[in-house]
Amino acid sequence: MHLGRGAARVATDAIVRGARDFPRKIDDLDAATLSRIMNRPVASVTRIGGTNGTTSRALLALTGDGVPPTVFVKMAADTVPNRLIGELGRLAETEVRFYAELAGELTGIPRLYGSAFDSPTGRFVIVLEDLTAGDCEFPDTVHPLTPERAAQLVDLLAHLHGTFWGRLPDVGNARVPLGWLHAGSADPSVPLVGSMMRRSVRRLSGHTGIAVEAGRFIIDNYPAVARLIDQAPHTVLHGDAHPGNTFVRDGRVGLLDWQAVRRGHPTRDLAYTLVTGMTTADRTANERDLLDRYRHALSRAGGPEIGQEELWFRYRQAAAYAYVAALITAGLGGMQDETIALTGLGRTVAALEDLGTVTALRKGLLANGISVRHQSPQDA
């Protein structure tokens, strides 16, 4: 049904192209259009450069009274397959609504200059500050977070989670504030994840030196694992806080790319961030201290005082999501540089082992009376 809605939007866009007064491409962003979106008098627009993927992205140079000299713009992808990926993940609507409804209460995020969304066609425009214009660093998996920067990121996530703790409505009540947020286990792509992981394992096994089969239990039981990871209590999550979605400005870590915002248990963000963002040696040496830091920061930000062992157990389970995301990213290819993707996958496989993730998952599933399809030898 969700793919059908996305396909209908793409089809509508093809039928009415040019008939609706809404920009379809980066080159359609002239001075008059940007003036409306940014609510500022833009005098001229010059495209500096750009890239394409699940969205189209570009840097634009602007002139005008009170207008920033450069901005970063995101719009719908150029190709139909990539647009459908965006529709399946609700990426455009999610990021537009994040900046409209949540961003004003947060720190450590890019500044928004304006946004617009066209529901019938799914096209959108998001105009953000140009982080490259300042003294910013952009980490990635190959250039990991130091323990000090990981601690800053833990504080930032605690602020996000604590700010919205207790403010989410019951699941399925989409007509009230924040009711549009859904858990990862309710994502329309969940039925496809198992086949994507199996395809990724076939492609990577024996070619990378990474024991990708270590997550076979997770692959065989993914829908149940996803529901377990997403068990309440819930708050607002970034949803995709790998190191490539961080930046460092004036020595402080920030988060960008808010198109995968979800509701869920905070350990989903924490495990994904620490497992992919730090070297395995740094993570294992520091993660218990970082989780304790998070517990105290969450309480100060308005969240509850989560017990130390409760948080640790949920964190061990949530490392499964880091593995799933890294496996699909590396296995399908095209979403990240291969070296970055394989480095992240190697870290997630190591985490499954040293955190005993499969054992923690089995314990949680059995406690909830959920049968499993596969039993690994180490858990027999």
Average pLDDT, the chain: 91
Give the pLDDT of residue 356: 98
What pTM does this model have?
0.92
Strands 70-76 and 55-64: antiparallel
N- to C-terminal Cα distance for the chain? 39
Q: Please, are residues 218 and 114 in contact by the beta-carbon 8 Å criterion?
A: no
DSSP secondary structure letters along 255-323: E---TT-EEE-THHHHHHHHHHHS-HHHHHHHHHHHHHHHHHHHHHTT-----HHHHHHHHHHHHHHHH
The yes-or-no verdict on residue 208 having pLDDT over 80 is yes
What are the backbone angles phi and psi of residue 117, rounded to the nearest 5°? Answer: -140, 135
Confidence of residue 378 (pLDDT cuts 50, 70, 90): very low
The better pLDDT of the pair 169, 171 is held by 169
Would you call the peptide bond into 144 cis, given omega within 30 degrees of 0 as the criterion? no
Mean pLDDT across the stretch 235-263?
95
Residue 8 in this model has a pLDDT that exceeds 80: no
Q: Which two tokens stand for residue 57?
A: 């992205």
Give the Cα separation of 51 and 58 in Å (integer): 6
pLDDT digit string (tens) for 130-144?
999 888 999 999 999
pLDDT more than 70, % of the chain: 96
Across the range 163-184, mean pLDDT stands at: 90
Categorize the per-residue pLDDT at 19 as very low, low, confident or very high, splitting at 50, 70 and 90. Answer: low
DSSP tag of 183: B
Domain assignments of the chain as residue spans, ordered by start: 2-132, 136-379
Confidence of residue 375 (pLDDT cuts 50, 70, 90): low
Q: Using alpha carbons only, how large is the chain's radius of gyration in Å?
A: 21
Which of these ranges, 24-28, 91-95, 274-278, 335-339, has the smallest mean pLDDT? 335-339
Three-state SS at 241:
coil
Please state the separation of Cα 5 from the chain's center in Å.
22
Three-class secondary structure of residue 337 per DSSP: coil
Predicted pLDDT at 45: 97
Residue 379 has pLDDT above 90, yes or no: no
The model's pLDDT over 306-353, given as tens digits with 9 standing for 90+, comes to 999 999 999 999 999 999 999 999 998 777 788 999 999 999 999 999
Name the more confident of 82 and 124: 124
Q: Which pLDDT score, from 0 to 100, does residue 374 have? A: 56
C-alpha 76: how far from chain center: 17
State the fold for domain 2-132.
Phosphorylase Kinase; domain 1 (3.30.200)
What is the C-alpha to C-alpha distance for residues 100 and 124, in angstroms, rounded to an integer?
13
pLDDT digits (tens, 9 = 90+) for 359-372: 999 999 999 888 78
pLDDT exceeds cutoff 70 at 3: no
DSSP assignment of 212-235, as one string? GGGGHHHHHTHHHHHHHHTPSP-E
pLDDT band at 14 (very low <50, low <70, confident <90, very high): confident
Architecture of domain 136-379: Alpha-Beta Complex (3.90)
Structure tokens at 254: 């920030």
> For residues 53 and 335, is the Cβ–Cβ distance under 8 A?
yes
Q: Which residue has the tokens 């920030």?
A: 254
| Residue 18 confidence class, pLDDT cut points 50, 70, 90 | low
Q: What is the number of helices (H) and of strands (E) in the chain?
A: 13, 10
What are the C-alpha distances in Å from 147 to residues 4, 136, 281, 289? 44, 19, 11, 10
Using one digit for the tens of pLDDT, what is the confidence trace for 44-84?
A: 999 998 887 778 999 999 999 999 999 999 998 887 777 77
Question: CB of 130 within 8 A of CB of 74?
Answer: no
**Alpha-carbon distance 275 to 150, whole Å?**
11
Q: Is the predicted pLDDT of residue 41 greater than 50, yes or no?
A: yes
CB 268 within 8 A of CB 321: yes
